[in-house]
């Protein structure tokens, strides 16, 4: 049985050790969407480092329908935050593309996460920070992240925790239920995560942890996504000449 408090306490110690070894006195910089992942990641860092060493960055693209959840989080934790709207940067980059180049739908959807990560690093390098990766095991398992966007960071407290486990830790941390149980959406195409994936996180998490799954078609879909996206979790292949 998953012991959320035990894992939470171990993760808090791990974050402290990371900062002791990779930037004593540095700040944790986390992109705040208002979803469970950024909420739990920020709360873990607050417990590990104290609220004065955690900085949130809100990065709407124009109007963000659920930005109130992001405000709820930073106010609940009492952390300093910056709000940086990326719409102008996004529009400028799209407009700068050669007219003969037709951006694919996927290219357009992946631009905002990559702009956000550039923004996070600009803030981080200006506040003596380390960028928090907010991905979880479930999303990583099926490649549900943008390479060089939300898939990167300087340290990752939740990459070995499923969605179900992240939510349990969120409750142990005392986060508002509205944040922990908020329907996960990618913020890119208007659909929920589960609508995009074609299966539920409950099905995925059970399969990851036990190998059990009821629907063979769902198993095949998960396996296909996992195999196709393994490259996102690996270091870039590097040619080694025989010299």
> Which single residue is written with the structure tokens 């960055």?
57
| 73 token code pair | 């989080």
Angle between helices 163-172 and 36-49 (to 10 degrees): 50
The pLDDT tens digits of the residues spanning 188-228 come to: 556 788 888 999 999 999 999 999 999 999 999 999 999 99
Give me the count of residues in the chain.
243
Q: Where are the domains of the chain?
A: 4-184
pTM (2 d.p.): 0.93
**Among the listed residues 36, 54, 35, 32, the one whose alpha carbon sits nearest the alpha carbon of residue 45:** 54
Distance CA 37, CA 173 (A): 13
Low-confidence ranges of the chain (pLDDT < 70): 186-190
pLDDT on residue 156: 98
Name the burial class of residue 118, with classes exposed (0-12), middle (13-18) and buried (19+) by CB atoms within 10 angstroms of its CB.
Answer: middle
The pLDDT tens digits of the residues spanning 56-73 come to: 999 999 999 899 999 999
Question: What topology is assigned to 4-184 in CATH?
Answer: Rossmann fold (3.40.50)
- Cβ neighbors of 119 (< 8 A, separation 6 or more) are 57, 59, 84, 86, 89
φ/ψ of residue 168, rounded to 5 = -65, -40
| 166 token code pair | 């992240």
**Among the listed residues 71, 20, 10, the one whose alpha carbon sits nearest the alpha carbon of residue 44:** 10
Contact 62, 187 (CB under 8 A): no
């Amino acid at each position: 049985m998953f012991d959320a408090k035990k894992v939470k306490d171990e993760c808090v110690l791990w974050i402290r050790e990371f900062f002791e070894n990779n930037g004593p006195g540095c700040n944790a910089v986390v992109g705040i969407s208002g979803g469970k992942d950024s909420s739990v990641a920020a709360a873990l860092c607050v417990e590990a480092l104290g609220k004065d060493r955690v900085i949130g960055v809100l990065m709407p693209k124009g109007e963000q329908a659920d930005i109130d959840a992001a405000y709820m989080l930073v106010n609940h934790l009492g952390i300093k935050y910056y709000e940086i709207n990326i719409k102008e940067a996004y529009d400028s980059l799209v407009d700068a593309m050669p007219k003969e180049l037709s951006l694919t739908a996927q290219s357009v959807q992946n631009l905002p996460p990559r702009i956000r990560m550039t923004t996070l690093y600009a803030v981080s390098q200006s506040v003596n920070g380390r960028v928090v990766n907010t991905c979880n095991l479930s999303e990583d398992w099926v490649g549900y992240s943008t390479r060089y966007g939300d898939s990167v960071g300087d340290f990752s407290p939740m990459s070995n925790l499923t969605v179900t486990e992240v939510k349990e830790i969120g409750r142990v941390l005392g986060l508002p239920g509205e944040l922990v149980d908020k329907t996960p959406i990618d913020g890119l195409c208007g659909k929920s995560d589960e609508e995009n994936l074609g299966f539920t996180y409950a099905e995925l998490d059970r399969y990851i942890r036990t190998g059990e799954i009821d629907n063979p078609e769902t198993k095949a879909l998960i396996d296909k996504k996992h195999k196709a996206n393994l490259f996102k979790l690996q270091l870039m292949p590097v040619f080694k000449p025989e010299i």
